[in-house]
């Protein structure tokens, strides 16, 4: 597509439930990133995928968080047993391997509210 | 520790006034530098980026930024602000500049810009 697409745009879930967030990157973008933006704060890096290489999971805050990506296509971020502190906007970005030239393109995010 | 600092949490300017948003970073080498803008309910839009060369970078919407190595700064400027510029602005760095290493962006806390008519 023309841009990075994320779904759902909004998600309200009960504490303890699992949620799955989806990111559809720009076609041909080999790199994909997930970030979390809590209210009034900057973006926190969560996880990075580059082609078929092992993902960098160094930003995942706990083992309740996981993400998958098949090849260079869609990625899903799963949060198990959601907690109220998981409430945030989850942003996905993708880039070509030569990000220096092309930069990163962000999606509009999924706003997650845990009640 | 490696970090990106935006000292101003909230700035208010009058429409037509000039604007400067500050950004400082602490990395050993010059990273790639970015400014993004986020309007309410929207994703991040790239305003401009710096990798090398001319230290004054022009971006979209009339914005520019100047990289100053001696001050480890990358301040964003606009000579005349429009009401539509009201948004939150983020400075970001990619510390692994160059080569084939990937780019994990580190963001500042953001600066909220309010524009008075």
**pLDDT (tens digit per residue) in A54-92:** 888 989 999 999 999 988 889 999 999 999 999 999 999
Count the alpha carbons within 13 Å of B99 in the hemisphere toward its beta carbon.
Answer: 8
* Residue from the list A42, A48, A99 with its beta carbon closest to the beta carbon of B110: A42
Using CA atoms, how far apart are residues A88 and A95, in angstroms rounded to an integer? 23
B39 Cβ neighbours under 8 A, 6+ residues apart: B45, B87, B88
B106/A contact by beta carbon, under 8 A: yes
Domains recognised in chain A with CATH numbers: 5-98 (2.60.40.10)
B108/A104 Cβ within 8 A: no
Using CA atoms, how far apart are residues B36 and A9, in angstroms rounded to an integer? 20
pLDDT for position A1? 55
**Position B106 confidence tier, pLDDT thresholds 50, 70, 90:** confident
Select the more confidently predicted residue: A86 or B117: A86
B45/A contact by beta carbon, under 8 A: yes
The residue with tokens 């502190």 is: A85
* Residue from the list A45, A105, A107 with its beta carbon closest to the beta carbon of B105: A45
Q: Where are chain B's structural domains?
A: 3-116
B34/A4 Cβ within 8 A: no
* Residue from the list B42, B97, B104 with its beta carbon closest to the beta carbon of A56: B104
Domain B3-116: give its CATH code. 2.60.40.10
Q: Which residue of A has its CA nearest to B94?
A: A100
Select the more confidently predicted residue: A4 or B106: A4
pLDDT for position B96? 65
Out of A16-30, A70-84, B1-15, B89-103, pick the least confident: B89-103
Return the structure tokens found at A17. Answer: 């439930």
- Beta-bridge partner residues of B76: B21, B65
pLDDT digits (tens, 9 = 90+) for B42-100: 788 999 999 888 899 999 999 999 999 999 999 999 999 999 999 999 999 887 655 55
DSSP state of A99: H
Using CA atoms, how far apart are residues A43 and A26, in angstroms rounded to an integer? 21
Burial tier of B18 (Cβ tally within 10 Å: 0-12, 13-18, 19+): exposed
pLDDT for position B97? 55
Is A101:A90 a contact under the CB 8 Å cutoff?
no
End-to-end CA distance of chain B: 41
pLDDT for position A85? 95
Residue A29 with chain B: CB contacts under 8 Å: none
User: Above pLDDT 70, what percent of chain A?
Assistant: 95
A45/B46 Cβ within 8 A: no
């Amino acid at each position: 597509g023309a841009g990075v697409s994320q779904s759902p745009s909004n998600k309200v879930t009960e504490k303890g439930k699992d949620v799955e967030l989806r990111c559809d990157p720009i076609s041909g973008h080999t790199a994909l990133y997930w970030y979390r933006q809590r209210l009034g704060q900057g973006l926190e890096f969560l996880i990075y995928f580059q082609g078929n290489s092992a993902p960098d999971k160094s930003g995942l805050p706990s083992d309740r968080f996981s993400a998958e990506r098949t090849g260079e296509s869609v990625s899903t971020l799963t949060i198990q047993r959601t907690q109220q502190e998981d409430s945030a906007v989850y942003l996905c970005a993708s880039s070509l391997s030569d990000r220096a030239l092309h930069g990163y393109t962000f999606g509009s995010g999924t706003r997650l509210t845990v009640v | 520790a490696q970090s990106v600092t935006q000292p101003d949490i909230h700035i208010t300017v009058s429409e037509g006034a000039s604007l400067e948003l500050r950004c400082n970073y602490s990395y050993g080498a010059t990273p790639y530098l970015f400014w993004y803008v986020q309007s309410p309910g929207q994703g991040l839009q790239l305003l401009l980026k710096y990798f090398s060369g001319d230290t004054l970078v022009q971006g979209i919407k009339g914005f520019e930024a100047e990289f100053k190595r001696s001050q480890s700064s990358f301040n964003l400027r606009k000579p005349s602000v429009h009401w539509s510029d009201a948004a939150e602005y983020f400075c970001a760095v990619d510390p692994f500049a160059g080569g084939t290493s990937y780019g994990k962006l580190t963001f500042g806390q953001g600066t909220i810009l309010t524009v008075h008519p």
